[in-house]
Protein backbone atom coordinates (compact mmCIF):
# COMPACT_ATOMS: atom_id res chain seq x y z
CA UNK A 1 0.00 0.00 0.00
CA UNK A 2 2.84 2.34 0.72
CA UNK A 3 4.25 1.87 -2.78
CA UNK A 4 0.82 2.40 -4.37
CA UNK A 5 0.28 5.56 -2.31
CA UNK A 6 3.67 6.88 -3.35
CA UNK A 7 2.89 6.29 -7.03
CA UNK A 8 -0.49 7.97 -6.64
CA UNK A 9 1.07 11.03 -5.00
CA UNK A 10 3.69 11.33 -7.72
CA UNK A 11 1.06 10.97 -10.48
CA UNK A 12 -1.21 13.62 -8.94
CA UNK A 13 1.71 15.98 -8.44
CA UNK A 14 2.73 15.63 -12.10
CA UNK A 15 -0.84 16.12 -13.30
CA UNK A 16 -1.48 19.24 -11.19
CA UNK A 17 1.96 20.75 -11.73
CA UNK A 18 2.83 20.53 -8.03
CA UNK A 19 5.80 19.28 -6.12
CA UNK A 20 5.36 15.89 -4.36
CA UNK A 21 6.54 17.44 -1.10
CA UNK A 22 3.41 19.60 -1.11
CA UNK A 23 1.18 16.54 -1.25
CA UNK A 24 3.22 14.83 1.45
CA UNK A 25 2.55 17.84 3.66
CA UNK A 26 -1.17 17.57 2.87
CA UNK A 27 -1.14 13.88 3.81
CA UNK A 28 0.72 14.58 7.06
CA UNK A 29 -1.83 17.21 8.05
CA UNK A 30 -4.66 14.79 7.27
CA UNK A 31 -3.09 12.02 9.38
CA UNK A 32 -2.49 14.42 12.25
CA UNK A 33 -6.13 15.53 12.17
CA UNK A 34 -7.30 11.90 12.10
CA UNK A 35 -5.08 10.90 15.01
CA UNK A 36 -6.30 13.71 17.26
CA UNK A 37 -9.88 12.47 16.75
CA UNK A 38 -8.96 9.06 18.19
CA UNK A 39 -9.76 8.34 21.86
CA UNK A 40 -6.78 8.80 24.18
CA UNK A 41 -4.75 10.77 21.64
CA UNK A 42 -2.07 13.14 22.85
CA UNK A 43 -2.92 16.81 22.49
CA UNK A 44 0.54 17.82 21.27
CA UNK A 45 1.36 15.39 18.46
CA UNK A 46 2.43 15.49 14.81
CA UNK A 47 3.02 13.10 11.90
CA UNK A 48 6.23 12.51 9.94
CA UNK A 49 6.37 10.74 6.57
CA UNK A 50 9.45 9.26 4.91
CA UNK A 51 9.13 10.05 1.15
CA UNK A 52 11.32 7.11 0.17
CA UNK A 53 9.66 4.32 2.16
CA UNK A 54 6.30 6.05 2.77
CA UNK A 55 6.55 5.08 6.43
CA UNK A 56 4.62 7.43 8.72
CA UNK A 57 5.04 7.88 12.44
CA UNK A 58 3.08 9.82 15.06
CA UNK A 59 5.37 11.72 17.43
CA UNK A 60 4.08 13.28 20.66
CA UNK A 61 5.31 15.31 23.59
CA UNK A 62 3.96 16.01 27.07
CA UNK A 63 2.52 19.42 28.01
CA UNK A 64 2.97 21.19 31.30
CA UNK A 65 0.33 23.11 33.26
CA UNK A 66 0.87 26.17 31.10
CA UNK A 67 0.37 24.20 27.89
CA UNK A 68 4.03 24.23 26.87
CA UNK A 69 5.66 21.01 25.60
CA UNK A 70 8.42 19.52 27.74
CA UNK A 71 10.46 16.35 27.97
CA UNK A 72 11.55 13.91 25.30
CA UNK A 73 9.67 13.17 22.09
CA UNK A 74 8.18 9.67 21.80
CA UNK A 75 6.32 7.69 19.17
CA UNK A 76 2.61 7.01 19.67
CA UNK A 77 1.64 5.51 16.29
CA UNK A 78 -1.56 3.41 16.66
CA UNK A 79 -1.55 -0.19 15.49
CA UNK A 80 -4.40 0.20 13.00
CA UNK A 81 -3.23 3.58 11.73
CA UNK A 82 -2.78 2.33 8.15
CA UNK A 83 -6.52 2.03 7.51
CA UNK A 84 -7.09 5.39 9.18
CA UNK A 85 -4.36 6.93 7.00
CA UNK A 86 -5.99 5.66 3.80
CA UNK A 87 -9.40 7.04 4.73
CA UNK A 88 -7.98 10.38 5.85
CA UNK A 89 -5.91 10.71 2.71
CA UNK A 90 -8.95 10.08 0.53
CA UNK A 91 -11.06 12.64 2.34
CA UNK A 92 -8.65 15.56 2.50
CA UNK A 93 -6.61 15.02 -0.64
CA UNK A 94 -9.06 16.79 -2.98
CA UNK A 95 -9.55 19.68 -0.59
CA UNK A 96 -5.82 19.97 0.05
CA UNK A 97 -5.05 19.98 -3.66
CA UNK A 98 -7.61 22.72 -4.29
CA UNK A 99 -6.21 24.88 -1.55
CA UNK A 100 -2.69 24.39 -2.84
CA UNK A 101 -3.77 25.23 -6.39
CA UNK A 102 -5.42 28.43 -5.18
CA UNK A 103 -2.28 29.36 -3.29
CA UNK A 104 -0.10 28.72 -6.33
CA UNK A 105 -2.36 30.81 -8.53
CA UNK A 106 -2.24 33.65 -6.07
CA UNK A 107 1.55 33.48 -5.81
CA UNK A 108 1.78 33.45 -9.60
CA UNK A 109 -0.14 36.70 -10.04
CA UNK A 110 0.49 38.44 -6.68
CA UNK A 111 3.68 40.06 -7.93
CA UNK A 112 2.35 40.94 -11.37
CA UNK A 113 0.37 44.06 -10.51
CA UNK A 114 1.18 46.60 -13.20
CA UNK A 115 1.83 43.89 -15.78
CA UNK A 116 -0.12 43.15 -18.95
CA UNK A 117 -2.01 39.91 -19.65
CA UNK A 118 -3.85 38.46 -22.62
CA UNK A 119 -7.24 36.92 -22.04
CA UNK A 120 -10.26 35.60 -23.91
CA UNK A 121 -13.63 37.18 -23.22
CA UNK A 122 -15.94 34.60 -21.63
CA UNK A 123 -19.08 36.50 -20.67
CA UNK A 124 -20.27 40.05 -20.13
CA UNK A 125 -23.06 41.72 -18.21
CA UNK A 126 -23.90 45.18 -16.90
CA UNK A 127 -21.37 44.93 -14.05
CA UNK A 128 -18.25 43.28 -15.39
CA UNK A 129 -16.65 41.08 -18.04
CA UNK A 130 -14.81 37.82 -17.33
CA UNK A 131 -11.52 37.11 -19.08
CA UNK A 132 -10.06 33.62 -19.27
CA UNK A 133 -6.32 33.83 -18.58
CA UNK A 134 -5.74 30.08 -18.71
CA UNK A 135 -5.57 28.77 -15.15
CA UNK A 136 -7.51 31.67 -13.65
CA UNK A 137 -10.18 34.17 -14.61
CA UNK A 138 -9.77 37.91 -14.49
CA UNK A 139 -12.44 40.46 -13.67
CA UNK A 140 -12.85 43.47 -15.97
CA UNK A 141 -15.26 45.90 -14.19
CA UNK A 142 -17.46 48.21 -16.21
CA UNK A 143 -15.60 51.25 -14.82
CA UNK A 144 -12.34 49.89 -16.25
CA UNK A 145 -13.75 49.31 -19.73
CA UNK A 146 -13.36 51.73 -22.61
CA UNK A 147 -16.64 53.52 -23.41
CA UNK A 148 -18.41 52.17 -26.47
CA UNK A 149 -15.98 49.23 -26.67
CA UNK A 150 -17.92 45.98 -26.79
CA UNK A 151 -15.70 43.13 -28.03
CA UNK A 152 -17.46 39.90 -28.98
CA UNK A 153 -17.22 36.73 -26.93
CA UNK A 154 -14.13 34.54 -27.49
CA UNK A 155 -12.24 37.64 -28.59
CA UNK A 156 -8.65 37.86 -27.41
CA UNK A 157 -7.71 41.19 -25.80
CA UNK A 158 -4.91 42.59 -23.67
CA UNK A 159 -5.54 44.14 -20.25
CA UNK A 160 -3.57 45.77 -17.44
CA UNK A 161 -3.48 44.11 -14.00
CA UNK A 162 -4.67 46.65 -11.44
CA UNK A 163 -5.07 44.50 -8.32
CA UNK A 164 -4.73 40.89 -7.15
CA UNK A 165 -6.96 39.96 -4.22
CA UNK A 166 -6.71 36.82 -2.09
CA UNK A 167 -10.11 35.28 -1.38
CA UNK A 168 -11.41 31.98 -0.04
CA UNK A 169 -12.29 30.87 -3.54
CA UNK A 170 -8.88 31.73 -4.92
CA UNK A 171 -7.18 34.81 -6.31
CA UNK A 172 -9.37 37.54 -7.77
CA UNK A 173 -7.53 39.42 -10.50
CA UNK A 174 -8.88 42.86 -11.44
CA UNK A 175 -7.76 44.16 -14.86
CA UNK A 176 -8.28 47.40 -16.75
CA UNK A 177 -8.49 48.61 -20.32
CA UNK A 178 -8.49 52.31 -19.43
CA UNK A 179 -5.36 52.57 -17.26
CA UNK A 180 -2.50 54.69 -18.72
CA UNK A 181 -0.14 51.87 -17.76
CA UNK A 182 -1.67 49.79 -20.54
CA UNK A 183 -0.22 52.23 -23.09
CA UNK A 184 3.26 51.94 -21.58
CA UNK A 185 3.15 48.14 -21.51
CA UNK A 186 1.93 47.94 -25.10
CA UNK A 187 4.81 50.15 -26.24
CA UNK A 188 7.25 47.94 -24.33
CA UNK A 189 5.93 44.94 -26.27
CA UNK A 190 6.12 46.64 -29.66
CA UNK A 191 9.22 48.87 -29.27
CA UNK A 192 12.47 47.04 -28.41
CA UNK A 193 14.20 50.33 -27.56
CA UNK A 194 11.69 50.92 -24.74
CA UNK A 195 12.04 47.35 -23.45
CA UNK A 196 15.85 47.76 -23.42
CA UNK A 197 15.67 51.12 -21.62
CA UNK A 198 17.17 53.16 -24.47
CA UNK A 199 13.91 55.08 -24.90
CA UNK A 200 11.76 56.07 -21.93
CA UNK A 201 8.13 57.12 -21.69
CA UNK A 202 8.40 60.09 -19.33
CA UNK A 203 4.74 61.07 -19.26
CA UNK A 204 1.39 59.79 -20.47
CA UNK A 205 -2.08 61.36 -20.64
CA UNK A 206 -5.05 59.42 -21.90
CA UNK A 207 -8.73 59.75 -22.58
CA UNK A 208 -9.70 56.09 -23.19
CA UNK A 209 -11.27 55.41 -26.54
CA UNK A 210 -10.48 58.86 -27.95
CA UNK A 211 -6.90 60.08 -27.75
CA UNK A 212 -3.59 59.51 -25.94
CA UNK A 213 -0.48 61.68 -25.68
CA UNK A 214 2.90 60.32 -24.57
CA UNK A 215 6.20 62.14 -24.08
CA UNK A 216 9.28 60.07 -24.90
CA UNK A 217 12.96 60.60 -24.12
CA UNK A 218 16.07 58.92 -25.55
CA UNK A 219 19.10 58.04 -23.43
CA UNK A 220 21.12 57.59 -26.62
CA UNK A 221 21.72 60.74 -28.71
CA UNK A 222 21.86 58.58 -31.84
CA UNK A 223 18.33 57.24 -31.33
CA UNK A 224 15.29 59.30 -32.25
CA UNK A 225 12.68 58.52 -29.57
CA UNK A 226 9.68 59.54 -31.66
CA UNK A 227 10.87 57.63 -34.72
CA UNK A 228 11.58 54.52 -32.65
CA UNK A 229 8.04 54.52 -31.29
CA UNK A 230 6.40 55.21 -34.63
CA UNK A 231 8.42 52.61 -36.54
CA UNK A 232 8.91 52.19 -40.26
CA UNK A 233 5.86 53.63 -42.03
CA UNK A 234 4.11 53.73 -38.65
CA UNK A 235 4.12 49.94 -38.26
CA UNK A 236 4.83 49.89 -34.53
CA UNK A 237 2.32 52.44 -33.41
CA UNK A 238 -0.27 50.98 -35.79
CA UNK A 239 -0.20 47.68 -33.89
CA UNK A 240 -0.96 49.52 -30.66
CA UNK A 241 -3.75 51.55 -32.27
CA UNK A 242 -5.33 48.35 -33.55
CA UNK A 243 -5.18 46.79 -30.08
CA UNK A 244 -6.89 49.90 -28.66
CA UNK A 245 -9.62 49.71 -31.31
CA UNK A 246 -8.58 52.84 -33.23
CA UNK A 247 -7.65 55.14 -30.34
CA UNK A 248 -5.44 57.98 -31.65
CA UNK A 249 -1.93 58.32 -30.20
CA UNK A 250 0.24 61.46 -30.29
CA UNK A 251 3.96 60.92 -29.62
CA UNK A 252 5.93 64.05 -28.68
CA UNK A 253 9.56 64.47 -27.56
CA UNK A 254 10.12 65.22 -23.89
CA UNK A 255 12.09 68.34 -22.96
CA UNK A 256 13.51 69.71 -19.73
CA UNK A 257 12.61 73.24 -20.88
CA UNK A 258 8.97 73.97 -19.95
CA UNK A 259 8.41 76.32 -22.89
CA UNK A 260 9.60 73.78 -25.42
CA UNK A 261 7.76 70.89 -23.76
CA UNK A 262 4.45 72.76 -23.70
CA UNK A 263 4.91 73.81 -27.31
CA UNK A 264 5.56 70.22 -28.42
CA UNK A 265 2.73 68.84 -26.30
CA UNK A 266 0.16 70.96 -28.20
CA UNK A 267 1.10 69.22 -31.45
CA UNK A 268 -0.20 69.15 -34.17
CA UNK A 269 -0.92 72.85 -33.55
CA UNK A 270 1.86 75.34 -34.30
CA UNK A 271 2.76 77.52 -31.33
CA UNK A 272 4.24 81.01 -31.72
CA UNK A 273 5.19 81.77 -28.11
CA UNK A 274 4.94 80.25 -24.61
CA UNK A 275 5.09 82.36 -21.46
CA UNK A 276 5.69 80.44 -18.21
CA UNK A 277 4.59 81.73 -14.80
CA UNK A 278 6.52 79.69 -12.23
CA UNK A 279 4.56 81.04 -9.24
CA UNK A 280 1.10 80.09 -10.48
CA UNK A 281 2.20 77.11 -12.59
CA UNK A 282 0.51 78.58 -15.64
CA UNK A 283 1.69 78.51 -19.25
CA UNK A 284 0.27 81.24 -21.51
CA UNK A 285 0.40 79.93 -25.07
CA UNK A 286 0.08 82.26 -28.07
CA UNK A 287 -0.84 80.71 -31.40
CA UNK A 288 -1.71 82.18 -34.81
CA UNK A 289 -5.37 82.98 -35.27
CA UNK A 290 -5.92 80.15 -37.73
CA UNK A 291 -4.33 77.63 -35.31
CA UNK A 292 -6.50 78.51 -32.28
CA UNK A 293 -9.19 75.87 -32.82
CA UNK A 294 -6.58 73.20 -33.62
CA UNK A 295 -4.63 74.00 -30.46
CA UNK A 296 -7.73 73.79 -28.27
CA UNK A 297 -9.02 70.66 -29.98
CA UNK A 298 -12.48 69.19 -30.13
CA UNK A 299 -14.28 70.11 -26.89
CA UNK A 300 -10.90 71.23 -25.50
CA UNK A 301 -9.41 67.73 -25.72
CA UNK A 302 -6.00 68.71 -27.11
CA UNK A 303 -5.45 71.43 -24.51
CA UNK A 304 -6.72 69.19 -21.70
CA UNK A 305 -4.41 66.30 -22.58
CA UNK A 306 -1.46 68.66 -23.04
CA UNK A 307 -2.02 70.10 -19.56
CA UNK A 308 -2.10 66.64 -18.00
CA UNK A 309 0.95 65.57 -20.00
CA UNK A 310 3.11 68.54 -19.01
CA UNK A 311 1.73 69.26 -15.54
CA UNK A 312 1.20 72.95 -16.41
CA UNK A 313 -2.08 74.84 -16.49
CA UNK A 314 -2.29 75.91 -20.13
CA UNK A 315 -4.09 79.08 -21.27
CA UNK A 316 -4.28 79.34 -25.07
CA UNK A 317 -4.78 82.69 -26.81
CA UNK A 318 -4.65 83.83 -30.41
CA UNK A 319 -2.35 86.61 -31.58
CA UNK A 320 -5.29 88.99 -31.90
CA UNK A 321 -6.50 88.28 -28.38
CA UNK A 322 -3.03 88.77 -26.95
CA UNK A 323 -2.59 92.08 -28.83
CA UNK A 324 -5.89 93.36 -27.44
CA UNK A 325 -4.88 92.39 -23.90
CA UNK A 326 -1.49 94.08 -24.28
CA UNK A 327 -3.17 97.25 -25.58
CA UNK A 328 -5.65 97.24 -22.72
CA UNK A 329 -2.88 96.83 -20.14
CA UNK A 330 -0.90 99.72 -21.67
CA UNK A 331 -3.70 102.24 -20.97
CA UNK A 332 -3.15 104.32 -17.82
CA UNK A 333 -6.43 103.71 -16.05
CA UNK A 334 -7.46 105.71 -12.99
CA UNK A 335 -7.18 103.58 -9.88
CA UNK A 336 -10.35 102.85 -7.97
CA UNK A 337 -13.31 100.50 -7.92
CA UNK A 338 -17.04 100.42 -8.49
CA UNK A 339 -19.02 99.94 -5.28
CA UNK A 340 -22.71 99.99 -4.36
CA UNK A 341 -23.91 103.01 -2.41
CA UNK A 342 -25.76 101.61 0.63
CA UNK A 343 -28.11 104.60 0.75
CA UNK A 344 -29.20 104.77 -2.90
CA UNK A 345 -28.35 101.25 -4.01
CA UNK A 346 -26.64 102.59 -7.14
CA UNK A 347 -23.12 101.86 -8.34
CA UNK A 348 -20.62 104.64 -7.65
CA UNK A 349 -16.93 105.03 -8.43
CA UNK A 350 -14.68 105.23 -5.38
CA UNK A 351 -11.22 106.66 -6.24
CA UNK A 352 -8.28 104.78 -4.74
CA UNK A 353 -6.70 108.01 -3.42
CA UNK A 354 -9.83 108.78 -1.42
CA UNK A 355 -12.36 111.56 -1.69
CA UNK A 356 -16.09 111.54 -2.42
CA UNK A 357 -17.57 108.80 -4.56
CA UNK A 358 -18.76 109.66 -8.08
CA UNK A 359 -21.98 108.59 -9.69
CA UNK A 360 -21.95 107.04 -13.15
CA UNK A 361 -22.96 110.39 -14.73
CA UNK A 362 -20.27 112.31 -12.83
CA UNK A 363 -17.65 109.70 -13.67
CA UNK A 364 -18.63 109.90 -17.37
CA UNK A 365 -18.45 113.72 -17.37
CA UNK A 366 -15.04 113.62 -15.71
CA UNK A 367 -13.77 111.14 -18.28
CA UNK A 368 -14.96 113.38 -21.16
CA UNK A 369 -13.35 116.49 -19.67
CA UNK A 370 -10.08 114.62 -19.17
CA UNK A 371 -9.96 113.86 -22.88
CA UNK A 372 -9.02 117.59 -23.61
CA UNK A 373 -11.59 118.22 -26.38
CA UNK A 374 -13.12 116.65 -29.42
CA UNK A 375 -12.06 117.15 -33.00
CA UNK A 376 -13.87 115.79 -36.03
CA UNK A 377 -12.74 116.21 -39.61
CA UNK A 378 -14.27 114.93 -42.82
CA UNK A 379 -13.17 114.91 -46.43
CA UNK A 380 -15.44 117.84 -47.15
CA UNK A 381 -13.20 120.14 -45.16
CA UNK A 382 -15.55 120.70 -42.16
CA UNK A 383 -13.72 121.03 -38.88
CA UNK A 384 -15.24 121.43 -35.43
CA UNK A 385 -13.11 122.47 -32.47
CA UNK A 386 -14.26 122.98 -28.90
CA UNK A 387 -11.71 124.97 -26.91
CA UNK A 388 -13.63 127.87 -25.44
CA UNK A 389 -15.25 128.64 -28.79
CA UNK A 390 -16.62 127.07 -31.97
CA UNK A 391 -15.09 127.27 -35.39
CA UNK A 392 -16.55 125.84 -38.58
CA UNK A 393 -14.88 126.00 -41.98
CA UNK A 394 -15.77 124.48 -45.31
CA UNK A 395 -14.24 124.52 -48.76
CA UNK A 396 -16.85 127.05 -49.94
CA UNK A 397 -15.13 129.85 -48.03
CA UNK A 398 -17.69 130.35 -45.23
CA UNK A 399 -16.22 130.84 -41.80
CA UNK A 400 -18.04 131.24 -38.50
CA UNK A 401 -16.22 132.19 -35.31
CA UNK A 402 -17.66 132.46 -31.84
CA UNK A 403 -15.28 133.78 -29.18
CA UNK A 404 -17.16 136.01 -26.76
CA UNK A 405 -19.14 137.74 -29.55
CA UNK A 406 -20.66 136.98 -32.94
CA UNK A 407 -18.97 137.77 -36.21
CA UNK A 408 -20.05 136.63 -39.64
CA UNK A 409 -17.94 137.20 -42.71
CA UNK A 410 -18.85 136.09 -46.19
CA UNK A 411 -16.46 136.31 -49.02
CA UNK A 412 -17.29 135.53 -52.55
CA UNK A 413 -14.39 135.19 -54.80
CA UNK A 414 -14.97 135.92 -58.45
CA UNK A 415 -12.81 136.32 -61.48
CA UNK A 416 -11.50 139.72 -62.40
CA UNK A 417 -13.31 139.65 -65.73
CA UNK A 418 -16.70 138.85 -64.15
CA UNK A 419 -16.40 141.72 -61.62
CA UNK A 420 -16.25 144.28 -64.45
CA UNK A 421 -19.19 142.92 -66.48
CA UNK A 422 -22.21 143.98 -64.40
CA UNK A 423 -22.68 147.16 -62.40
CA UNK A 424 -25.39 145.41 -60.35
CA UNK A 425 -22.86 142.82 -59.23
CA UNK A 426 -20.37 145.64 -58.45
CA UNK A 427 -22.96 147.36 -56.30
CA UNK A 428 -23.81 144.16 -54.50
CA UNK A 429 -20.11 143.53 -53.84
CA UNK A 430 -19.54 147.04 -52.48
CA UNK A 431 -22.58 146.80 -50.24
CA UNK A 432 -21.46 143.52 -48.70
CA UNK A 433 -17.89 144.76 -48.34
Distance of alpha carbon 37 from alpha carbon 348, whole angstroms? 96
What Cα–Cα distance (Å) separates residue 312 from each residue in 261, 262, 268, 303?
10, 8, 18, 11
Chain segment 4-46, per-residue pLDDT in tens: 777 877 887 787 777 788 778 877 887 887 788 777 788 888 8
Q: Measured in Å, how far apart are the chain's first and last C-alpha atoms?
A: 154
Mean pLDDT of 116-142: 87
| DSSP code for 348 | E
- Does residue 191 contact residue 229 with C-beta atoms inside 8 Å? yes
**Mean pLDDT of all residues belonging to the chain:** 79
SS3 67: coil
| DSSP code, position 358 | B
Domains and CATH numbers, the chain: 2-109 (3.30.1480.10), 111-176 (2.40.50.140), 257-326 (3.30.300.20), 336-370 (no CATH), 391-433 (no CATH)
Percent of the chain's residues with pLDDT above 90 = 34
pLDDT (0 to 100) of residue 256: 92
Rg of the Cα atoms in the chain:
46
Question: pLDDT tens, 41-97?
Answer: 888 888 888 877 778 788 888 888 887 888 888 888 877 776 766 666 666 677 777
Per-residue pLDDT band at 135 (split at 50, 70, 90): confident
Instruction: Collect contacts of 162-165 with beta carbons under 8 A, ≥24 apart.
Output: 162/113, 163/113, 164/106, 164/109, 164/110, 164/112, 164/113
Report, as an integer, the average pLDDT of 294-303.
92
Q: How far apart are CA 138 and CA 173, in angstroms?
A: 5
pLDDT at position 348: 82
pLDDT at res. 313: 93
Q: What is the pLDDT of residue 387?
A: 42
Instruction: Say what the pLDDT of residue 417 is.
Output: 46
pLDDT confidence tier of residue 166, bands split at 50, 70 and 90: confident
Residue 382 has pLDDT above 50, yes or no: no
CA-CA distance, 101 to 232, in Å (whole number)?
A: 45
Of the candidate ranges 112-116, 277-281, 380-384, the one whose mean pLDDT is the lowest: 380-384
Each residue's pLDDT tens digit, 396-424: 444 444 444 444 343 434 444 444 444 44
Beta bridge partners of 48: 57
**Angle value at C-alpha 181, between 175 and 184, nearest 5 degrees:** 130
For residue range 239-298, what is the model confidence (pLDDT) as tens digits? 999 999 899 999 999 999 999 999 999 999 999 999 999 999 999 999 999 999 999 999
Q: HEC string of 129-180?
A: EEEECCCCEEEEEHHHCCCCCCCCCCCEEEEEEEEEEEECCEEEEEEECCCH
Amino acid sequence: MNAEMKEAINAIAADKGMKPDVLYAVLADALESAYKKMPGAYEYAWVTIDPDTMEYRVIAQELDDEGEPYGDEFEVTPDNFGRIAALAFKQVLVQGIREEEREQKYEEYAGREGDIVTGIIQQSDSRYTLLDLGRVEALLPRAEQVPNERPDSNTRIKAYIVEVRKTAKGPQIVVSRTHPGLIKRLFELEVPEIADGIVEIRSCAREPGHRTKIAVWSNDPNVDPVGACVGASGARVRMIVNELRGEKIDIVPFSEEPEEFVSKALSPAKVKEVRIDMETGTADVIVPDYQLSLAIGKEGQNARLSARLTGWRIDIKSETQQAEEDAYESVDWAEGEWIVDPETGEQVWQPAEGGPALSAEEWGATSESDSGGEEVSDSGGEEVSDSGGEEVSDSGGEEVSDSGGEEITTQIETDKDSSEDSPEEDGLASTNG
